[in-house]
Structure 1
């Protein structure tokens, strides 16, 4: 079953069931650090990514730290 969500303000259909699966789908891997996720403006702690389920219509923001100046 596919879930319809918004990821970084872009509509997306996904088969990912959890935050961890979605991060892997979007980034191609699950980083050890430097990435933050919020669902409906609530930050999801890294320790909860594998257990946090995605709901249809959720607004997900995936933010990554970038080095540079």
Structure 2
């Protein structure tokens, strides 16, 4: 699979919410595009990621 343009190995299909946790992302502070489609945060737990998928993960950063 590809995450933010980098090749990654995914051993088995995984819930998007689990994958975000494994990658140390806080789900409340990211936007995720899966194969060109934005995934709603409410769907992170029910969206399954496989080794064939392409993810783009964007973190929100505050400051001023």
**What is the TM-score normalised by the length of structure 2?**
0.81
1:31 to 7, 14, 26: 26
Q: How many residues align?
A: 63
Distance in 2 separating the partners of 1:66 and 1:32: 13
Could you list the runs of 5+ residues in structure 1 that have no partner in the other structure? Answer: none
**What is the TM-score normalised by the length of structure 1?**
0.76
Could you list the runs of 5+ residues in structure 2 that have no partner in the other structure? Answer: none
Confirm or deny that 1:58 pairs with 2:53: yes
Higher relative contact order (CA 8 A, sep 6+): 2
Contact 2:10–2:50 under 8 Å retained in 1 = no
Per-residue Cα deviation, 1:1-26 (whole angstroms, up to 9, x for no partner):
xxxx1000001112461110110111
Confirm or deny that 1:42 pairs with 2:37: yes
